[in-house]
Amino acid sequence: MATSSPLPQLDGGTFITDGGMETTLIFREGLELPEFAAFVLLDDEDGLASLRSYYAAYVAIAKRHGVGIVLDAPTWRANPDWGERLGYSAEALADVNRRGVALLEEVRSAAGVDVVISGCIGPRGDGYVVADAMSPDEAQAYHSAQVSTFAGTSADLVSALTLNYAGEATGIARAAVAAGIPSVISFTVETDGRLPSGQELRDAVAEVDEATDAAPAYYMVNCAHPTHFENVLAEGGLERIRGLRANASSKSHAELDEAEDLDQGDPDDLAARYRALKPLLPGLNVVGGCCGTDERHIESICAAFAR
């Protein structure tokens, strides 16, 4: 069962994450992920084999470079609203969340590197659009079932990715406190560096910290290109951010939604941009990717940080 013991990535060593799970599995592997939900792959042996192969590639990168790795369960969409669309009951969702962590236990047992298991949580709605925003209390009630399920497994933490307004982030962080499991909050931003809600990134972080007594272990930015938020980081005041999972593409969210082909960007350029952000984020040590990134991008990023 998860506890509130310190997370190894808080000690300052380099940890990588995986890349863009869903975009890799859809565009490169040709898999069907209804509603962008990777958790459906946990339901059959072929899907499990695809996930094992996916994770193994990133564990191999960590081993080559002598760094740790934070692996997210394939559960970003495994919450009540998305689960209902896909025909999963509350009991079935709890089971699939547990099986997502169990798969990562299997990966960790054979990894030979420091693996941190994260129960991945996604937004209730679209990560790019704020609609029907919840209050912190509503968000806590909504996400508490998934958070509590993860707290009853060997997950080391819960990571809430692609959040677009502070109220939902606050609710998730409070749910994690109630369940006794560390949390990480990751916001996404538009090309102007603001959350899709229009709030400044630093104000969102400050709002969640104030509302939760700084309960999140740390913050991240994901599903945006470094060119979208580097100017915001240069202004300072974001020392609580220690993780980045950027998109390969510098296109806006709207442009990515309309694109028919995957923009894979330039892995070396992305790595160089990460490296350039390091002086702006002294605590930055958890680095990976989001949409459009794969092993090539993470290899380049890892090499840049492991030097």
pLDDT in tens, 192-222: 999 999 999 999 999 999 999 999 999 999 9
- For residues 61-86, average pLDDT: 97
Structure tokens at 245: 């999972």
- For residues 34-62, average pLDDT: 98
User: Which burial class, exposed, middle or buried, applies to 236 when counting CB atoms under 10 A from its CB (0-12, 13-18, 19+)?
Assistant: exposed
pLDDT of residue 151: 98
Domain layout of the chain by residue ranges = 8-306
What single-letter DSSP state applies at residue 232? H
Q: Which CATH number fits domain 8-306: 3.40.640.10, 3.20.20.70, 3.40.50.2300, 3.20.20.330?
A: 3.20.20.330
- pLDDT tops 60 at residue 6: yes
From 38-47, 176-185, 298-307, the region with the lowest mean pLDDT: 298-307
Give this prediction's pTM. Answer: 0.95
Contact 231, 277 (CB under 8 A): no
Residue type, 52: R
Closest to 298 (Cα-Cα) out of 255, 244, 257, 259: 244
Contact 89, 105 (CB under 8 A): no
pLDDT of residue 185: 98
- pLDDT tops 70 at residue 307: no
pLDDT in tens, 248-280: 989 888 888 777 788 899 999 999 999 999 999
- For residues 129-138, average pLDDT: 94
Residue count of the chain: 307
pLDDT band at 3 (very low <50, low <70, confident <90, very high): very low
